[in-house]
Amino acid sequence: MDIIPAIDLIGGKSVRLSQGDYDQQIDMPMSVTEALAYYSQFPQVRRIHVVDLIGAAEQMAMETSTISEIKAVSQLPLELGGGLRDQATLETYDKLGIDYFILGSRAIMDVPWLREMVALYPNRIFVGIDCKDEDIYINGWKENSGRQIDEYVAEIEDLPIAGIIYTDIYKDGMKQGPNVERTGKLQEITHHDVIASGGVRSRHDLDALEAVGIGQAIVGKAAQDPAFWKGL
């Protein structure tokens, strides 16, 4: 199981939200640079998941300078999401050396645009699908897109993307475990790699995900707890 630690940014600081609620923000114990150094020691970590939280809500990149600093010191590839709504923004981050892009809200609502971006950056784009039950949410998880997960996944099945990051919003930041059943069912209906996100707490959760065919998991709060890494 590949573990992808998450660094969520607000104002240059590493924070976490609960269920995507910006009013439930807590600062993480480690700074961004401390977290990068800590995660880099574990062989299970293949890349780092970075999200510009205000960018996601405001629909534009807000943390470019911080992300540039992160890329300069990171020993691992970075996947970046939050506020990536146009080609110019992707080009900016591409020049900074960002390895992978996570496209969410616009990719959900504008599949022709997603196709154009994938043609420019094949196998470097993850599509972020953030759900409450079957409904996909957008714009920092604040709005129901009106799209259902199964029909959307079928629409992008032919694209050369890096994978699908699936987040159960109800589970995110709640320390209650991931939605193993739904994540596994999603993997069954697509040939794309599905990356689990939201609620992963322990080796037990990773084993449960692996049992339903998931090989990668994004880990947020738990990743800064040394107990999480013991026995992996």
Assess whether 8 carries a catalytic annotation. Answer: yes
> Inter-axis angle of helices 203-211 and 180-188, to 10 degrees?
30
The HSE-up count of residue 161 (CA atoms within 13 Å, CB side) is 30
Answer yes or no: are the C-beta atoms of 193 and 163 closer than 8 Å.
yes
- Which residue from 38, 27, 28 is spatially nearest to 3, judged by alpha carbons? 38
Kindly name the residue from 23, 52, 130, 150 that is annotated as catalytic: 130
The HSE-up count of residue 123 (CA atoms within 13 Å, CB side) is 0
Q: Please tell me whether residue 186 adopts helix, strand or coil conformation.
A: helix
- Residue 170 amino acid letter: Y
Alpha carbon 181 to its chain's center: 19
CA gap 108, 178 in Å, rounded: 22
CA gap 82, 141 in Å, rounded: 11
Tokens of 92: 């900016």
- For 104-149, the DSSP string reads -HHHHH-HHHHHHHHHHSTT-EEEEEEEETTEEEETTTTEEEEEEH
Residues with a catalytic annotation lie at 8, 130
